[in-house]
Amino acid sequence: MIPIRDANPSRTRPVVVLGLIAVNAIVFLWEILLPAQGLQELFQGYGVVPVHLTHPSGGGWAWPTLLTYMFLHGGWLHVIGNLWVLWIFGDNIEDRMGHVRFLVFYLVTGVLAALTQSWLTPRSSVPSVGASGAIAGVMGAYIVLFPRARILTIVPVFFYPLFLELPAVAFLGLWFLLQLFSGTLALHASGEVGGIAFWAHVGGFLAGIVLHRLFLTRPRWRRG
């Protein structure tokens, strides 16, 4: 399923979402200018490598990667897909939280997403990069705050694109179940392989559900 847009206009300009999109895009443009060896060193140095966090000899130098990994991406489809989903769901969450609170929420859920992936794959030396853990946190907040919002979605059926409008609770619920199922399969796979950090998605999504209320702006009035 590929989301196209939501029928849920926001009341304010999503300046933080736009800023995050711009920063990620600029960093990615810098990435594509690097030689292959330089890009690999960048991912190893600034992506989240679980074994660096979980092994006693990992050292404190690895902890800042819990923030830096969110701004690195592994390819065009990776960065475009992530930033498109952030644009669809992020504006409404920023609208409900305010700019500063939303930025803190985004970073916190991104950190918790990476910790979830590292906790469940503690011996992995494969670096995790991408904003999808933090964006999963945004999606977790969205499913609680706007469960009935309509999401225009492309569902490929035998290579034929079928356009459907799904309620957010259905679209995001199915997405979460897919991440949970895929993550469980990955845990039982033999050997160490790269790919999608499904447990980062699961951790970020659950963090968004649990923590989002701590970041909502308080109403400025009460009913009489």
pLDDT at 168: 96
* pLDDT of the residue at 223: 43
Lowest mean pLDDT among 23-32, 117-126, 212-221: 212-221
* Residue pLDDT, tens place only, 29-40: 999 999 999 999
For strand 150-157 and strand 160-167, is the pairing parallel, antiparallel, or unpaired? antiparallel
184-211 mean pLDDT: 83
Strands laid side by side in the 2-6 sheet: 2-6, 150-157, 160-167
Q: Which two tokens stand for residue 115?
A: 């910790």
Domain boundaries, the chain: 2-215
204, with CB counted inside 10 A (0-12, 13-18, 19+), is buried
User: pLDDT tier at 188 (50, 70, 90 boundaries)?
Assistant: confident
Lowest mean pLDDT among 64-78, 156-170, 185-199: 185-199
Mean pLDDT of 67-88: 95
Specify burial of residue 159 (Cβ count, 10 A radius: 0-12, 13-18, 19+). exposed
pTM, entire model = 0.91
Strand, helix or coil at 6? strand
Mean pLDDT score of the chain: 90
Q: Is the pLDDT of residue 94 over 60?
A: yes
Which residue reads 């950190």 in tokens?
Answer: 111
Distances (CA, A) of 94 to 11, 44, 59, 140, 175: 10, 31, 35, 13, 21
What average pLDDT does this structure show over 37-66?
A: 85
CATH class of 2-215: mainly alpha
- Give the pLDDT score at 117: 93
| Residues above pLDDT 90, as percent of the chain | 73
Tens of pLDDT, residues 113-127: 999 999 998 888 899
pLDDT for 220 beyond 50? no
CB 162 within 8 A of CB 156: yes
Confidence of residue 222 (pLDDT cuts 50, 70, 90): very low
What is the rounded average pLDDT of the residues 92-112? 97
